Structure formats: structure tokens, C-alpha cells
Amino acid sequence: MANFIQKKDWQISENLATPESVYLRRREFIQGTALTSLATVGALYGCGPSTVPNTLPEIKWNETEKTLYPAKRSPEFELDRPLTDEKISGTYNNFYEFGSDKIDPVHYAQKLNTRPWIVEVGGLVNKPKTFDIDDLLKTMPIEERLYRLRCVEAWAMAVPWTGFPFKELLKLVDPKSSATYVKMETFYQPFTAQGQLAFWEPWAYTEGLTIEEAMNDLTFMVTGIYGHPLSKQHGAPLRLAVPWKYGFKSIKSIVKIELVTEMPTSLWMAAAPREYGFFANVNPDVDHPRWSQGSERRIGELSRIETLKFNGYEEQVAALYDGMDLEANY
């Protein structure tokens, strides 16, 4: 008798996997104030159309990282499908600090110095801490997980992240009961990250979660990818992965985490509030003002497939939003 594997609802079937033979497309500029501004800066400061490299930039491992990667994959998040080819995911990125074209980050993010790297965690906590990234890595339970990645632009991938549950970091600082939101910020180095020369935009990049979202089992702090330390174009040395939300919520290159009482205003909320809300949950029933979210294109496929509510993680996260109007709270 044949053995049948019952898939969990977040598992991705093989026929939906992003093919390894795919090559990159030229970035389609989104017609909005924020991206138009960034494109202008790119033209002025030399960031713009560039070519796909023959090989990905070399990643330098330090002694701490040599003991951590590749990490053991969590069986709970092991999927029955081939992974997206690393060259595809490594050269098709949104990281506007380094340019508005998908290919820009693999070229320009290499200028970012990720050692030493300090992460401050404070606000409404009983034990505020400042971590050196390598000391933090030694402290956390490192594992590999395979997650779906859904961009607000209606394209999708799946990526093997290595890291640790965000809640394990928050436990170290002992949040106060009055903390209701978690605010995160990336670096601000405008002469390293030329996109930040757009002084009219509200840099540094800021994102936020509710405390309940941050403590969810799926919310993941990422330090590695494809069995090695996180590459700079993906947001080294520390980024967020929140797989049931659109990709812009997964902030890159984090330097500060603050627990607060008021809902943080993210960069995208400030730049285009009609288009980007705080929650940003993947939802086929709530369209972007300029395009449908009812379907998505997996990179390299001509056809489109239906978008899954919460990106396929409804069972794990829907309870966070019981009674909430998801259209009003987009």
C-alpha cells in the first residue's frame, strides 16, 4: 500500500515551487511617491539599472558563524518541494536603501559593514539590553525553517531561513505588561546606502508588530539563509521574517527594537498611507488600490495562482485577528 503524507495547510506543493531555471526580470517601477523619489536618487547617485552577476558575492564567515551554519532544519517547517534557487532569490530583492531596482541590492548592499553590529532592545521592558550580534547568535536557539514569501507586488517565492523565534529574544528583556507594540528600526547610513539620500523620505526604515504578533511561533528573526550567514542583499546580519504578512513588513538589517504603547508608523505608512497599512496581512479579499491581491505570480511562471489568506498560515495566526475588520485594518 502506498504511503500518503498529509500536508499541513502552509506546506507548498512541488508544482507551485519557483523553478530553478528562472532568470531575473527588470524591476517594474511602482508608480508611487515613495518609489519615484527613490528612483530619482538612484539616477543622481549612480544607483540604477545593472546586470545580474555571474556569481553571488562571497560571504565571509567569522568564527561564531562557522559553529552555527548550516543549522538543523526544524521538521515542523520542512516542505516537500525543491527550494527556490539561491541565485534567483539573491538577485531579486526589494531593499530600497540600496536602490529601487530588484537587481540593485546584490550590487550595492555589499558596501554595508555588518561587523561590528549592535542591536538595542529597550522601551517598555524590565531588562533592556544591548547585544553584539555575535553574542546574540551564541545565545539563541538557531534552526532552519522554510517559509513562503509573498510580496505586496503580487509575486511570491519560498526561502530557507535560518534564525530563531522572535519571542526568545523578547523573553530576554522581560516585556512590561503595558507594552502593546514592538517597533523596529534599520540602520541609517545615507552615504553607504544611497537610497537614504532621499532626505524627503522618513528614514530610517521602521516597522512594527503587535506584541501578540511578535510572540507568535511563526515570527522569526533571521540570521542565515541557504545554510550560510545571511547575505547583505537579504538584510544581514539580522532581519525579520513574518510569513503571513506582505514582505515589506519583514524589516532588514535591524539595529533597534523598542516595545511601546502606541502603534508605530512604518516608513511605508508614512509615505503612502492609502496603500500600505500597519497590519499588511496577505489577504486575497483586500486589494491594493492599484492592483488585485486575489492572485499571485510565482517568479518564473507565466500563469497566476490564487492567493491564500494569511499566505497559507491561517490556522496558525487567524486567532490574532478575531473580530477585526481586515479590510479596514489592511
Determine phi and psi for 59, rounding to 5 degrees. -100, 125
Residues 38-63 pLDDT 10s: 444 444 334 454 688 999 999 999 99
Per-residue pLDDT at 103 exceeds 80: yes
Position 26 scores a pLDDT of: 26
State the chain's maximal CA–CA distance in angstroms: 65
Average pLDDT rounded to a whole number, residues 119-145: 98
Per-residue pLDDT at 235 exceeds 70: yes
In this predicted structure, which of 33-37, 55-59, 68-72, 226-230 has the lowest mean pLDDT?
33-37
Residues 69-79 pLDDT 10s: 999 999 999 77
Q: 15 or 130: which carries more pLDDT confidence? A: 130
Residue 127 CB coordination number (10 Å): 11
Q: In the chain, what percentage of residues exceed pLDDT 90?
A: 78
Position 80 scores a pLDDT of: 60
Cβ atoms 138, 223 nearer than 8 A: no
CA separation, residue 142 to residues 62, 86, 227 (Å): 16, 20, 11
Position 18 scores a pLDDT of: 39
Long-range pairs for 269-273: beta carbons < 8 A, 24 or more residues apart: 270/202, 271/32, 271/33, 271/34, 271/201, 271/202, 272/32, 272/33, 272/34
Position 210 scores a pLDDT of: 98
Per-residue pLDDT at 248 exceeds 80: yes
Q: Which residue has the cell 535591524?
A: 254
d(CA 65, CA 70): 9
- Tell me the β-bridge partners of 298: 156
Q: Where are the alpha helices (DSSP H) in the chain?
A: 33-45, 63-66, 86-89, 104-108, 133-139, 166-173, 211-214, 267-271, 314-317
Chain-centre distance for alpha carbon 163: 13
Average pLDDT rounded to a whole number, residues 230-253: 98
Average pLDDT value over all residues in the chain: 87
Q: 122 or 199: which carries more pLDDT confidence? A: 122
Average pLDDT rounded to a whole number, residues 259-264: 98
Q: Categorize the per-residue pLDDT at 98 as very low, low, confident or very high, splitting at 50, 70 and 90.
A: very high
In this predicted structure, which of 35-44, 250-259, 310-319 has the lowest mean pLDDT?
35-44
Per-residue pLDDT at 27 exceeds 70: no
Position 303 scores a pLDDT of: 79
In the chain, the domains with their CATH numbers are 14-321 (3.90.420.10)
Q: Categorize the per-residue pLDDT at 233 as very low, low, confident or very high, splitting at 50, 70 and 90.
A: very high
Per-residue pLDDT at 102 exceeds 90: yes
Bridge pairing between strands 220-225 and 228-229:
antiparallel
Average pLDDT rounded to a whole number, residues 312-325: 97
Tell me the three cell numbers of residue 183.
517597533
Give the DSSP letter of residue 41: H
pTM for this structure? Answer: 0.87
In this predicted structure, which of 127-131, 196-200, 249-253, 280-284 has the lowest mean pLDDT?
196-200
Instruction: Using CB atoms within 10 Å of the CB of residue 314, give its burial: 0 to 12 exposed, 13 to 18 middle, 19+ buried.
Output: middle
Give the DSSP letter of residue 76: G
Cβ atoms 265, 276 nearer than 8 A: no
Cis before 116? omega within 30:
yes
